Amino acid sequence: MTLLAIKNLTKRFGGLTAVESLTIDVESGGVHGLIGPNGSGKSTVLNLISGIYRPTEGSIALSGAEITGLKPNQRARVGVGRTFQNIRLFPTLTVLQNVMMGRVTQQHGSLMGIVLNSPLVRREVKETTDRAREALRFMGIETFADEFHRNLPYGHQRLVEIARVLASGAKLMLLDEPAAGLNSSEKKNLGHLLTRMCDVFGSTVLLVEHDMRLLMSVSRTVSAVNFGKLIVTGSTANVQSDPDVIKAYLGAGSSK
Provide the binding-site residues for another protein, judged by CB under 8 A.
50-52, 71-73, 76-77, 81-82, 84, 86-93, 97, 100-102, 104-105, 107, 109, 111, 114-115, 117, 121, 125, 128, 148-150, 154, 157, 164, 168, 181
Nearer to another protein, 96 or 245 (CB): 96
* Shortest spacing between CB 81 and another protein, in angstroms: 8
- CB-nearer residue toward another protein: 103 or 248: 103
CA–CA gap between residue 12 and residue 195 (Å, rounded): 35
The whole-angstrom separation of Cα 138 and Cα 144 is: 13
Which of residues 73 and 143 has its CB atom nearest to another protein in the complex? 73
Q: What are phi and psi of 92, to 5 degrees?
A: -95, 0
Instruction: Report the nearest approach of another protein to the CB of residue 51 (Å).
Output: 8
Q: How far is the CB of 235 from another protein (least distance, A)?
A: 30
Q: ∠ CA(156), CA(81), CA(52), 5° rounding?
A: 110
Instruction: Return the number of the residue (75 or 221) whose C-beta is nearest another protein.
Output: 75
In contact, 48 and 208? CB cutoff 8 Å: no
For another protein, give the closer residue by CB, 57 or 147: 147
> Rounded to whole angstroms, how far apart are CA atoms 78 and 68?
12
Q: Kind and range of the H or E element at 80?
A: strand 80-82
If we measure between CA atoms, which residue out of 167, 110, 111 comes closest to residue 139?
167
Cβ atoms of 175 and 208 closer than 8 Å: yes
Nearest distance in Å: CB 165, another protein: 9
Distance (Å, whole) CA 203 – CA 201: 5
CA 243 → CA 214, 216, 232, 250, distances in Å? 21, 17, 10, 10
C-beta of 78 vs 212, nearer to another protein:
78
> Cβ closer to another protein: 40 or 50?
50
C-beta of 87: minimal distance to another protein in Å?
5
Inter-axis angle of helices 184-201 and 119-139, to 10 degrees? 130
CB of 152 to another protein, least distance (A): 9
The nearest distance, CB 114 to another protein, in angstroms, is: 4
